[in-house]
Amino acid sequence: MTARMTSPTALLPDAMKGIQNIFKGIHQGGAPGPVLELVHLRVSQINGCSACVYGGIKSALKNGETDERLHQVAAWRESDLFTDAERSALVLAEEATRIADRGEAVSDATWAAAAEHYNETQLAAIILMIGLTNLFNRLNTVTKAPAGATW
């Protein structure tokens, strides 16, 4: 696939500075790094963003995630490789990404499950990772960013 244009974040450097500050905040939020990696990958899979799936897998591997677990993210419900805490973050990521699929963006049950495992600061980091991943998925799919590049 050939990109339609240069990434909007490359063309508008001040926008990228703001995004980098959000990433910095996410990583200061205390959510476990592997959870943030899994959330990013699952959201990117849902949105069909090949660039973010590719980059997310590379990033997760670099940060200690295993091939076996990464191969199971798309079918995490049927896998015994994920903890209850990770599962709660994955369902939160799915519901927050598919907000048009239900009357309530994130169910109370999903929220309660995530809140059992993460404090408010960690939840803030996870929610920001979900939102930022959705932003990049949309930028990349609209501009047809090819898989293969990493950040």
Termini Cα distance of the chain: 18
Q: How confident is the model at residue 150 (pLDDT cuts 50, 70, 90)?
A: low
pLDDT of residue 151: 55
Residue 65: count other Cβ atoms within 10 Å of its Cβ.
Answer: 19
- What is the reported pTM? 0.95
Q: What is the pLDDT of residues 33-59, one digit of tens each?
A: 999 999 999 999 999 999 999 999 999
Question: How many angstroms separate the Cα of 43 from the Cα of each of 10, 12, 52, 130, 132?
Answer: 22, 24, 9, 7, 10
In contact, 74 and 45? CB cutoff 8 Å: yes
In contact, 130 and 39? CB cutoff 8 Å: yes
Residue 100 pLDDT > 60, yes or no? yes
Of 141, 143, 142, residue with least CA distance to 53: 141
Q: How confident is the model at residue 149 (pLDDT cuts 50, 70, 90)?
A: low
Q: What is the mean pLDDT of the chain?
A: 95
Q: Which residue has the higher pLDDT, 103 or 118?
A: 118
Question: What mean pLDDT is predicted for residues 72-77?
Answer: 98
> Cβ neighbours of residue 116 under 8 Å, at least 6 residues apart?
88
pLDDT of residue 34: 97
